[in-house]
Amino acid sequence: MINNTVLQARGLKKYYGKGETQVRALDGVDLDIERGKFTAIIGTSGSGKSTLLNMLSGLDTPTEGSIRVGETELATLNSEQATIFRRRQIGFIFQNYNLVPVLSVWENIILPISLDGQKPDKKFIMEIINLLGLEKKLDSLPNTLSGGQQQRVAIARALASKPSIILADEPTGNLDSKTSDDVIGLLKMTSREFNQTIMMITHNPEIAALADCVIHIEDGRIVE
Ligand SMILES: Nc1ncnc2c1ncn2[C@@H]1O[C@H](COP(=O)(O)OP(=O)(O)OP(=O)(O)O)[C@@H](O)[C@H]1O
Ligand SMILES: [Mg+2]
């Protein structure tokens, strides 16, 4: 592996089902992502983008192929090790936010840190919260927030532990263009500060144009 490669996939496949109804969500993906780079993932709905991010984060296991994150081969981790690995290394912004309904905004944001038995860097997290305009919502429950506010909580949660890799599934899909620009600015700023690697799914060509590299997926394959 090239020294500066932080994420590597080889022959990655994810098939759902069997026979005639089989879906080849990923069908042979190879990639090498350099540390500190901002990569945009584009492609039509159903092309396999979320599936790819789920595999890279270890949230789901591939049908075939291998993934290396830093020096760690994901297939060698059991599910408990994979969970700990994810909490420490990866900030994941889910397409459907995945907030915990019974926890407040603040509790949601620091949850991965608490689960890992770490102390949150409150000053840093408050900076993120202020930049995302969530300071008045810290005690609220997720179901009392708008879609865009919930999305911003999901973004704050992913950034709170200063992970080395941020995997974001359409993080600005529900935001107006001003807030969306702010979020991209925030991601670029923290990634520069902490040398973070970002992979972001987007349908927005203007956001893709800001990336260092664009990966285009169709029918489970990378197309040039
Ligand atoms: N759990 C599952 N069981 C069966 N098929 C699945 C499952 N998850 C995803 N798929 C299928 O895999 C393909 C890729 O889905 P994926 O969610 O990766 O698409 P996507 O590119 O993220 O689309 P979108 O832009 O709409 O979010 C789709 O055809 C989808 O129906
Ligand atoms: Mg998706």
In whole numbers, what is the pLDDT of the chain averaged over residues? 93
- How many Å lie between the centroid of ligand 2 and the Cα of residue 160? 23
Residue nearest to atom 19 of ligand 1 (CA): 46
Q: Is the pLDDT of residue 51 over 70?
A: yes
Q: Please write the tens of the pLDDT for every residue from 121-148.
A: 999 999 999 999 999 999 999 999 999 9
**With pLDDT > 90 as the criterion, what percentage of the chain qualifies?**
84
- How many Å lie between the centroid of ligand 1 and the Cα of residue 130? 34
Q: Is the pLDDT of residue 149 over 70?
A: yes
Q: Is any atom of ligand 1 closer than 6 Å to the C-beta of 54?
A: no
Predicted pLDDT of residue 224 = 74
- How many Å lie between the centroid of ligand 1 and the Cα of residue 70? 27
Confidence of residue 3 (pLDDT cuts 50, 70, 90): low
- Among residues 185, 115, 186, 195, the alpha carbon closest in space to that of 163 is found at 195
Q: Please write the tens of the pLDDT for every residue from 84-99.
A: 999 999 999 998 899 9
- How many Å lie between the centroid of ligand 1 and the Cα of residue 129? 31
Predicted pLDDT of residue 83 = 92
Q: Which domains does the chain have, with CATH numbers?
A: 5-98+162-222 (3.40.50.300)
Residue among 15, 22, 23 to mutate when testing ligand 1 (max atoms within 8 A of CB) = 23
Beta strands in 46-202 (DSSP E): 64-69, 72-73, 90-93, 165-169, 197-201
- How many Å lie between the centroid of ligand 1 and the Cα of residue 26? 9
Give the mean pLDDT of 18-47.
95
Q: Which residues contact 55 (CB under 8 A, 6 or more apart)?
A: 9, 12, 14, 26, 61, 62, 67
Q: Please write the tens of the pLDDT for every residue from 186-213.
A: 898 888 888 999 999 999 999 999 999 9
Residue nearest to atom 24 of ligand 1 (CA): 45
Q: Is any atom of ligand 1 closer than 6 Å to the C-beta of 44?
A: no
Q: Is any atom of ligand 1 closer than 6 Å to the C-beta of 48?
A: yes
Confidence of residue 182 (pLDDT cuts 50, 70, 90): confident
Q: Is the pLDDT of residue 2 over 60?
A: no
Predicted pLDDT of residue 1 = 46
Q: Record the tokens describing residue 89, joined without a space.
A: 């290394």
